[in-house]
Amino acid sequence: MSTAKTAEPTIYERRESEARSYCRSFPVSFARAQGATLTDADGNCYIDFLSGCSSLNYGHNDPDMKAALIEHVSTDGLAHALDLHTDEKAAFLETIETLILRPRGMDHKVMMTGPTGTNAVEAAIKLARKVTGRKNVISFTNGFHGMTLGALALTGNQGKRAGAGGVTLPDVTRMPFEGALGEDVDTLAVIETMLSNPSSGIEPAAAFVVELVQGEGGLNAASTEWVQGIARIARAHGALLIVDDIQAGMGRTGSFFSFDHMGVEPDMVTLAKSLSGFGLPFACVLVRPEHDIWKPAEHNGTFRGNTHAFVTARVALEKFWADDRLRNQIALKSQVLEERLHGIAARIDGARIKGRGMMRGIDVGSGELAGRICAEAFRRGLIIETSGAHDEVVKVLAPLTIPMEQFKQGLDVLEAAVDTLVPFPMAAE
């Protein structure tokens, strides 16, 4: 009888593409979400250390954004407006100008692209190529920038690239990220040497596209010195600097941008994921005005400028970035996180801490072990995923706004999961 039951395919088996993935790791149906807590259809609660891959930095259904969105919908505010002017767009632009750009002396324009990170990346590299008249774009080992062909060319992961079915992904040159060649090799020197050699075979670059913390690539965090070096090399070689802050921005590493306080000013910045604040599809490219040479509609798209997202994004900026409270909270939680992860890592032979701010994790040495830790954590009520070229990093992406109590509770679960899986003697070594 139970056999008969399992034989009947679920709606997902019947109708959802095999491309689905997260639902395979967390095979329950989620019904409600609030803050850092997810509740499944059976009423079980889970602590969310995944946060929509950093799309929910302010947690689920923040009450102020929720209220504003309900108000907007209730009063027949526009849901879809192409790139027409709306009061909501104006308010968003004014808020990001006032709270984010002007305080940093950034005169960047905001280009609303199709509401996905990959679209923002595509727009940025198209524009960089237009601006410079060059085609080659430098991207980095373990970088992840999206799945459409232009962004996929920048993405390092071989499995993702294979999804293109064998077409060449041209006009990109891969350079080593900081540390990618081992401790002994100065990657800045390698890059500088290669680009300065007129017989290196590397075409002049339109842009460098770089994540300051590689979210999918294993939480590799670049040092300030390295980031400055990249900025300097890019400028020296006439290339634009594009920071992909889709995963690392919006507070994830401690400040709004991952490059804050590093003394660099990117020519372009791509933003998505937590930009709407509420998990709604929304993306943009910040671009220096002198580079904003688009003709009208030269890069367009139906869903640019999601009006619902303008509403929630404005509230998010006003609520969290008008003062230092969130920044201080992140700093505090980052410390707690670092300490706890060190404690956990100490139990695993060869494990090491990676990342920065609230974007941290443990390289446990193998994807197999990392996967088992996450599965065990889920069994215990924690949603957490892996990252890295071999899926070898257990990655903590808790909401930045998670209450401290719940944060520690989640870390306790993680620690317990590790304890269960890593036999004591070995951990004790």
End-to-end CA distance of the chain: 49
Interface residue with its own copies, options 21, 43, 183, 324 (CB under 8 A): 21
User: ∠ at Cα 382 (381, 387), nearest 5°?
Assistant: 150
Nearest residue (CB) to its own copies, 232 versus 390: 390
Q: Does 379 bind its own copies (CB under 8 A)?
A: no
Collapsing DSSP to helix, strand or coil, 114 comes out as: coil
- Token pair of 237, please? 């070689």
Residue 146: CB atoms within 10 A of its CB come to 23
Phi, psi torsion values for 192, nearest 5 degrees: -60, -45
Q: Classify burial at 29, counting beta carbons within 10 Å of its beta carbon; exposed 0-12, middle 13-18, buried 19 or more.
A: exposed
Cβ 416 to its own copies, closest distance in Å? 23
Q: Restricting to residues 186-215, which ones interact with its own copies according to CB under 8 A?
A: 189-190, 193-194, 197-203, 206
Interface residue with its own copies, options 36, 57, 60, 344 (CB under 8 A): 60
User: What does the DSSP assignment read for 182-226?
Assistant: -TT--HHHHHHHHHH-TTS-PPPEEEEEE-SEETTTT-EE--HHH
Contact map string, positions 151 to 180, toward its own copies, x by CB under 8 A: x-xxxxxxxxxxxxxxxx-xxxxx-x---x
Q: Does 45 bind its own copies (CB under 8 A)?
A: no
Q: Does 64 bind its own copies (CB under 8 A)?
A: no
Contact map string, positions 312 to 351, toward its own copies, x by CB under 8 A: ----------------------------------------
Q: Does 406 bind its own copies (CB under 8 A)?
A: no
| Cα 43 from Cα 46, distance rounded (Å) | 10
Nearest residue (CB) to its own copies, 188 versus 369: 188
Nearest residue (CB) to its own copies, 72 versus 340: 72
Nearest residue (CB) to its own copies, 169 versus 416: 169
| Cα 103 from Cα 126, distance rounded (Å) | 28
Q: Classify burial at 41, counting beta carbons within 10 Å of its beta carbon; exposed 0-12, middle 13-18, buried 19 or more.
A: exposed
Cβ 320 to its own copies, closest distance in Å? 17
Interface residue with its own copies, options 44, 223, 300, 366 (CB under 8 A): 300
Interface residue with its own copies, options 130, 232, 327, 372 (CB under 8 A): 130
- Token pair of 122, please? 């595509």
Nearest residue (CB) to its own copies, 272 versus 362: 272
Q: Restricting to residues 89-118, which ones interact with its own copies according to CB under 8 A?
A: 89-90, 93-94, 96-97, 101, 109-112, 114-118
Bridge partners for 170 per DSSP: none
Bridge partners for 221 per DSSP: 213
